[in-house]
Amino acid sequence: EAGVAQSPRYKIIEKRQSVAFWCNPISGHATLYWYQQILGQGPKLLIQFQNNGVVDDSQLPKDRFSAERLKGVDSTLKIQPAKLEDSAVYLCASSNRAGANEQFFGPGTRLTVL
């Protein structure tokens, strides 16, 4: 079974530029999560999708972050414009809520904002 795929793995941009991350979950997983992990901290949930609907986006900075999950499969997270404090690893995870909510993480995208 293929795992969660993310791209790109690394991205370096200057502040005020825009950036987009892509995630393809494990086949059949209805729930998809985007997390932000700043160095030395635990992952912080940004947004949770159930199929193509948003379950929780309470911690998503909506003035600059947006996410979509068209057709209930892969997802894109965008930042526009980026700030220095957005430097972090962006993790995508998926789970099959038919059972326990055990999440499987992709390799992450390391974003550096200069």
Binding site for another protein (CB under 8 A): 33, 35, 40-45, 48, 55-56, 58, 91, 100-108
Q: How far is the CB of 78 from another protein (least distance, A)?
A: 21
User: In the complex, what is the shortest distance from the CB of residue 3 to another protein, in angstroms, rounded to a whole number?
Assistant: 10
**Residue holding tokens 């947004």?**
47
Strand partners, 110: 10, 89
Shortest spacing between CB 16 and another protein, in angstroms:
28
Task: Kindly tell me which of 34 and 65 has the beta carbon lying closer to another protein.
Answer: 34
From the number of C-beta atoms within 10 Å of its C-beta (0-12, 13-18, 19+), residue 77 rates as buried
**CB nearer to another protein: pick between 59 and 80:** 59
Which candidate, 114, 91, 106, places its Cα nearest to that of 34? 91
Answer whether 25's CB lies under 8 Å from 73's CB: yes
Nearest-approach distance from CB 43 to another protein, in angstroms: 5
Q: Residue 27 and residue 86: Cα distance in Å, rounded?
A: 29
Of 81 and 99, which has the nearer Cβ to another protein? 99
